[in-house]
Chains A and B, each alone.
Chain A
Amino acid sequence: MAKTASYAAQTATSPLAPFSIERRDPTPHDVQIEILFCGVCHSDLHTARGEWPGVVFPVVPGHEIVGRVIRVGSEVDRFKPGDLAAVGCPGRFVQAVHVV
């Protein structure tokens, strides 16, 4: 497990504020990236304010992610450290595409 800095909404009515989350360890099929930029989608706002069903608080919104690969699992053959990568959506499982 790795502690990761983030901004989270604690409830549907609280603003985003610094928060620490625990990420699971990467598996052999995962690509680990350092997130460089994250676009802000209206769906993030709907999520942060609990405006649609299924939101579990606290929540860290943001899915339009691009970053640089810092580590790849032993089964990964399409990415290597240093590559730019974007995360497919939804990104619960790492789904990465090459940024050209």
Chain B
Amino acid sequence: MGATSGKKVGIVGLGGLGHMGVKFAHAFGCHTVVFTTSPGKTEDAKRLGADEVVISRNADEMARHAKSFDFILNTVAASHDLDAFTSLLRTDATMCLVGAPSTPHPSPGVWNLIMRRCSIAGSAIGGLPETQEMLQFCAEHRIVSDVEVIPIQGINEAYERMLRGDVRYRFVIDMASLAD
């Protein structure tokens, strides 16, 4: 998909999926750029392995990256303007959507896609061979998720915090708490 050593890769959204995307892209040797709407996440993004951080609400910052990406992984689970990112793809590049908003994204403009043969793609979760390969890669490169462990009794509060973007970066339920 273009996320190989030396390529310029964008990660949109620094949440549960995005923070892992940064770690993988960094480990692949990509020039890794994080797009976030939260300026407060800039330092964290760099700690996770980002080479650059772009505040996606800043049009000037976005314009500086026009037509320059080999691949963009879009992890945002809320409806948003895809054109802001397809305009950053270079010829033959792909933006892959892995966030699942409950209301559709606005229909993307086709001009960016036509003129540079760009693609908008989607992906869910790999099958067992890909998952095993991924875990092996993580073990070899010491890649782990940044998690906040909670008891299951805290799940409803965790959902509310997820909706506010208040998690760094994945809640994990300690199932031993189910016996409490």
A residues contacting B by CB (< 8 A) are 5-7, 15-16, 35-43, 45-46, 48, 51-52, 62, 64, 67, 86, 88-89, 95-100
B136 lies within 8 A of chain A by Cβ: yes
Number of B residues whose C-beta is below 8 Å from A? Answer: 36
Closest 4 A/B residue pairs (Cβ):
A40-B171, A51-B102, A100-B139, A15-B156
Interface residues of B in 131-177 (CB under 8 A from A): 131-132, 135-136, 138-139, 145, 147, 149-150, 152, 155-156, 158-159, 162-163, 170-176
B114 lies within 8 A of chain A by Cβ: no
B101 to chain A, nearest CB (A): 9
Inter-subunit contact B102/A46 (CB<8 Å): yes
Residues of B near A48 (CB, < 8 A) are: 159
Inter-subunit contact A40/B155 (CB<8 Å): yes
Inter-subunit contact A41/B173 (CB<8 Å): no
Inter-subunit contact A97/B159 (CB<8 Å): no
- Other A-B pairs beyond A45-B163, A89-B124, 13, CB < 8 Å: A6-B178, A15-B156, A39-B171, A39-B173, A40-B158, A42-B162, A43-B100, A45-B159, A45-B162, A46-B100, A46-B102, A64-B172, A100-B139
Inter-subunit contact A40/B128 (CB<8 Å): no
